[in-house]
């Protein structure tokens, strides 16, 4: 940050002062313009985008695994990212200090990813992680309510109702913590909540510290138009997982997969613009997950056991979307370790380049 100029430099000659004041007054009357050359904060990277290199899952000399959050921060900075979204679980007493110091030195933002308490005994762990994150300068914590995908983990309407009960209980436990610590908890639409269900929960708790991590593509798996979901959740969004999606027809329904930004079906410039209309300084975190396509078995009866109220028109709309945008999605599980890690890295680099060239990120 630049130091303020010494006081003598602020003493303008009378004529210069009058001229500058007139220009300033005129500027205040002009409409606000989002100038294309005004560079905003760069896009961040979600740790899950590096699922193959995180936590030593794959070993390779050319693409070595990240040993810790500091490695990850440094690597993302080297790619030109503006920040990261990282987990805060299991930090030792020095990690928060190291994360904060590294982020400040590199000029990067940091968001946290935190687990919800599943039982009352987990609340103390949640408090510790919030405090650890705050020490690192984190003010926004992304979370998920279920973890697994709804249509894979839950087999009946009663199981979904139990999920809702547990999710509401978890939020009831953490709301006073968030309000005391003055940090934001951002619940992801993680292939668990449909938008109307998540909106109902937000309305129920009615807290300025409980909002949304808006994933740009997850809603397709639950038969929601991604633009409609974004428009509904954007007013409550604290953080984002920006991605692009590819679709492929399948025998059980369809396949979907993250693809590098600009190579899928999403209208990313419009989606980013909508998000910024509600929070001008919205941060966008890339979650480009390199993996084989996910199977969305929407033609199987079991898929609908937790979504009986979903309209046939919504299913028809998604199937039309798939049919009109069908593409052969890449498979990566057959690649050897180095090629797989190279593909993961290249997908992220391509996405960062698109964001810089097309999204002002």
User: What domains are defined for the chain?
Assistant: 39-245+258-291+331-358 (3.20.20.150)
Residue found by looking up tokens 């810089």 in the block: 356
Rounded Cα–Cα distance for residues 86 and 91 (Å): 11
Q: Strand 244-249 to strand 294-296: parallel, antiparallel, or no bridges (unpaired)?
A: unpaired
> How many Cα atoms occupy the beta-carbon half-sphere of 218 within 13 Å?
24
148 DSSP assignment: S
Tokens of 256: 């979907």
Crossing angle (nearest 10°) for helices 123-135 and 95-106: 40
- 75 in Cβ contact with 44 (< 8 Å): no
The closest of 349, 123, 339, 310 to 225, measured between CA atoms, is 310
- 102 in Cβ contact with 73 (< 8 Å): yes
Q: How many other CB atoms are there within 10 angstroms of residue 87's CB atom?
A: 18
Rounded Cα–Cα distance for residues 226 and 118 (Å): 29
The closest of 247, 246, 245, 219 to 232, measured between CA atoms, is 219
CA distances in angstroms from 172 to 24, 111, 134, 239, 359, listed in the order given: 49, 22, 21, 21, 37
pLDDT of residue 23: 33
pLDDT of residue 39: 59
pLDDT of residue 54: 85
Residues in the chain: 361
CB proximity list for 261: less than 8 A, separation 6 or greater: 242, 243, 244, 268, 286, 288, 350, 351, 354, 355, 358, 359
How does DSSP assign 240-276, residue by residue?
A: EEE-EEEEEE-SSSEEEEEE-TTSSS--HHHHHHHHH
Q: Specify which residues 44 forms β-bridges with.
A: 83, 285
- 207 in Cβ contact with 177 (< 8 Å): no
CA distances in angstroms from 160 to 8, 35, 200, 212, 354, listed in the order given: 67, 46, 15, 20, 38
What are the phi and psi torsion angles at 260 (to 5°)?
-55, 145
CA distances in angstroms from 275 to 156, 182, 268, 356, listed in the order given: 34, 22, 11, 17
119 three-class SS: coil
pLDDT of residue 355: 97
Q: Specify which residues 259 forms β-bridges with.
A: 244
Sites in the chain below the pLDDT cut of 50: 1-37
């Amino acid at each position: 940050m630049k130091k303020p100029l010494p006081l003598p430099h602020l003493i303008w000659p009378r004529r210069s002062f009058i001229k500058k004041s007139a220009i300033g007054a005129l500027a205040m009357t002009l409409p606000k313009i989002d100038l294309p050359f005004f560079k905003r904060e760069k896009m961040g990277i979600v740790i899950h985008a590096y699922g193959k290199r995180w936590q030593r899952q794959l070993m390779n000399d050319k693409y070595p695994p990240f040993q810790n959050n500091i490695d990850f921060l440094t690597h993302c900075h080297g790619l030109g990212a503006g920040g990261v979204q990282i987990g805060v679980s299991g930090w030792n007493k020095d990690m928060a200090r190291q994360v904060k110091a590294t982020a400040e030195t590199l000029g990067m933002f940091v968001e946290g990813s935190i687990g919800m308490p599943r039982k009352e005994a987990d609340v103390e762990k949640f408090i510790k992680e919030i405090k650890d994150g705050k020490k690192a300068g984190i003010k926004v914590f992304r979370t998920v309510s279920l973890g697994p995908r709804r249509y894979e983990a839950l087999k009946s309407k009663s199981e979904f109702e139990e999920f809702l009960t547990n999710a509401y209980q978890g939020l009831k436990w953490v709301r006073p913590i968030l309000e005391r610590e003055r940090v934001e908890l951002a619940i992801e639409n993680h292939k668990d909540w449909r938008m109307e269900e998540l909106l109902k929960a937000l309305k129920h708790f009615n807290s300025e510290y409980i909002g949304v991590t808006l994933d740009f593509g997850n809603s397709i798996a639950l038969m929601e138009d991604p633009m409609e979901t974004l428009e509904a959740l954007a007013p409550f969004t604290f953080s984002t997982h920006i991605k692009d999606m590819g679709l492929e027809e399948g025998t059980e329904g369809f396949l979907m997969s993250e693809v590098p930004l600009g190579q899928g079906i999403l209208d990313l410039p419009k989606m980013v613009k909508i998000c910024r209309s509600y929070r001008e300084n919205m941060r966008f975190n890339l979650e480009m997950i390199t993996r084989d396509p996910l199977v969305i078995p929407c033609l199987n009866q079991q898929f609908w056991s937790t979504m009986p109220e979903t309209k046939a028109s919504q299913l028809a709309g998604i199937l039309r979307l798939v049919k009109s945008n069908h593409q052969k999605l890449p498979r990566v599980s057959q690649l050897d370790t180095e090629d797989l890690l190279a593909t993961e890295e290249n997908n992220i680099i391509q996405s960062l380049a698109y964001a810089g060239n097309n999204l002002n990120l």
